[in-house]
Structure 1
């Protein structure tokens, strides 16, 4: 039996990729998948072979939203940033998403809704229509749980009352990693499932084929969202410059993926290749070290490539993720404002210490042993919300 599955995503550049562990199994198991997301994701849907229905606005790309959020981050720090973004901005956008989904799902009712854990409008629409709902952890699950009672649920309550619904509750979640890796206090409803990525992201382009080299390969990426926010973009640009200055003093090859910041940066040496984008999961199977912003998807890409990390957390869940991976011995963590000397010392330490790579191989084994995501099983066991 093929299910009609509605998957929802919010307008953050990396969020469709973060849901590949749900999208790919659904397609491989023969289900009909529709992605309900802003139309900016049309290309991402096409690349994955799923139908796109436009839902919600592209609010995350609004220059005023980006400027305000980045000013809060630079002026007040990450905790106030999280309260503003997840306790104010995200609930504020829920009504438009819910309205679009109520229209779409009344017209063509899905058998199962799999919504991003942060897609608050999708949670409400499924609840109003009595649809089976599962939340897919996109990496923000720990932040949402931390802020749910104090910030998120109170902000959602007026909207829920408008639709004559009870108090907002975060739905049961699936997460593509052992729960204890990212949750200090694991929620009872979270279930860990095997992680997959889109097939096209596993192929290494011809231009990335390396000629034999005795030097280690370092891959650097500080994420996509961080380069889109005005004040934050300046801080991240400075971090890229410090990282490349550190790399130029080390006997290694490096690929630095900086998104739309790449055109404003300059390589500091012939062994440092500066690009906009690369297929990260494929490249990390060839790299010896990953300098990363600590996003959950990026860290799991590193685990599946058995590549130790130097994590420099930026915002949201990333600083906590970086610290958690350092505690597990999977690499090192540094503040985003670290100097080139501190960065060079950390890179040299990780490249020269085999225990980090050994810990990553152990983590990769643990990750690969998680049970596959069975959508029919999830559907049969999913209570109506």
Structure 2
């Protein structure tokens, strides 16, 4: 195949036909996870392929914003109050390790059957050429295997957690469902990840491949109300603990306390601050005229203007920081986040603090990062490393999986 520079589709060398793949992309109901998949969605669109997002209905608007077709699959199970309450109680009472085992070893396998059933129905009616599923979308993995579809897992940040729990918790929980569909033992598919593999994997899996990271174009535009005075000499600190932690009642209480400690620390520092707190925003009164509390902002755009990012340490947020060359203060909450915090601190990209840190400890850490140019220099180096990664070529993925078939399709 060779790239057509005008249409951005592909030309089959044998037939001369312009080819567009039908690509099914799947997501699970975590609020930020469609954004976490933009590094596969945007290249697929730019390469002229037809994309359908198969996801719970909570993501219908996200599909529309990206200009892709939407097909409902699975349920909004993370929005269930009982699920949120149970997960929060486990996290607060038994710690992060037991929380991970419950969420990824119990909840996710339990939800796989409904997702697989919906996808089997949809993909039997309209068979895609390639499935790109979140690495944690266990139902999509099964459906693709049953139908013999080429499958690529997109690392959404949870890859290291899944690998850690796969043999002990996840695969055993999935085995009865796989037997129901007469399939072999569950195996985590080969993955692409939008960062150098060694950044987040202590022992890099042989199947993971690093590709260049992109974000949706609308997330790169800074709203007018965020423009600062050109004469302002104060550093800008951006604070966000993501979407999931603020949406879960029990976790929200703990995270709300962390926000308050951070804002109290910021009020004693000569800086401007924007605090993005999702549903908690209405319960967080500003502690000073230089601190603005909002529900949401286009994070990648804002981080290109910020001097420090105080974050929960989700994979996508940390990579937004790298691409904005913004040093971080990471206060990991759950899943992969504490590990990510330690990894970035070791690389000199910022500092890590416990979620229960006091305002005095937070103020000291903020002041230290803002006053140390080496953190920003390390971020610039990391951004250069990120930008050198190869772009994701979907035709190459399909060729390695045995596509195209003997007869291609003309690009629409």
Q: TM-score, normalised by structure 2?
A: 0.91
- State how far apart, in whole Å, the 1-side matches of 2:394 and 2:221 are: 26
- State how far apart, in whole Å, the 1-side matches of 2:247 and 2:292 are: 22
- State how far apart, in whole Å, the 2-side matches of 1:198 and 1:304 are: 14
Give how far 1:289 is off: 0.1
- State how far apart, in whole Å, the 2-side matches of 1:228 and 1:13 are: 9
- State how far apart, in whole Å, the 1-side matches of 2:94 and 2:348 are: 30
Give how far 1:106 is off: 0.2
Deviation readout 1:179-227 (Å, 9 max, x if unpaired): 0000000000000000000000000000001112110000000110001
Deviation readout 1:13-69 (Å, 9 max, x if unpaired): 000000000000000000000000011101000000000000001101000000000
Give how far 1:79 is off: 0.3
Deviation readout 1:109-140 (Å, 9 max, x if unpaired): 00000000000000000000000000000000
> C-alpha root-mean-square deviation of aligned residues, in Å?
0.5
Give how far 1:231 is off: 1.2
Alignment correspondent of 1:195: 213
Alignment correspondent of 2:78: 60
Give how far 1:298 is off: 0.1
Larger Rg: 2
Alignment correspondent of 2:100: 82
The runs of 5 or more residues in structure 2 that have no matched partner are 1-18, 397-402, 404-412
- State how far apart, in whole Å, the 1-side matches of 2:249 and 2:272 are: 30
Deviation readout 1:233-257 (Å, 9 max, x if unpaired): 1000000000000000000000000
Deviation readout 1:289-346 (Å, 9 max, x if unpaired): 0000000000000000000000000000000001100000000000000000000000
- State how far apart, in whole Å, the 2-side matches of 1:67 and 1:228 are: 11
Find the residue that maps to 2:239 and give its secondary structure: strand
Give how far 1:104 is off: 0.2
Find the residue that maps to 1:196 and give its secondary structure: coil
Give how far 1:228 is off: 1.3
Q: Are positions 1:214 and 2:214 aligned together? A: no
Give how far 1:229 is off: 1.1
- State how far apart, in whole Å, the 1-side matches of 2:260 and 2:78 are: 26
- State how far apart, in whole Å, the 1-side matches of 2:163 and 2:313 are: 19
- State how far apart, in whole Å, the 2-side matches of 1:204 and 1:23 are: 21
Give how far 1:373 is off: 0.3
The runs of 5 or more residues in structure 1 that have no matched partner are 380-385
Find the residue that maps to 1:13 and give its secondary structure: coil
- State how far apart, in whole Å, the 1-side matches of 2:325 and 2:52 are: 33
- State how far apart, in whole Å, the 2-side matches of 1:367 and 1:76 are: 36
Give how far 1:88 is off: 0.2
Find the residue that maps to 2:176 and give its secondary structure: helix
- State how far apart, in whole Å, the 2-side matches of 1:24 and 1:228 are: 27
- State how far apart, in whole Å, the 2-side matches of 1:232 and 1:206 are: 32
- Count residues in correspondence: 378
Alignment correspondent of 1:382: none
Give how far 1:230 is off: 1.3
Give how far 1:363 is off: 0.1
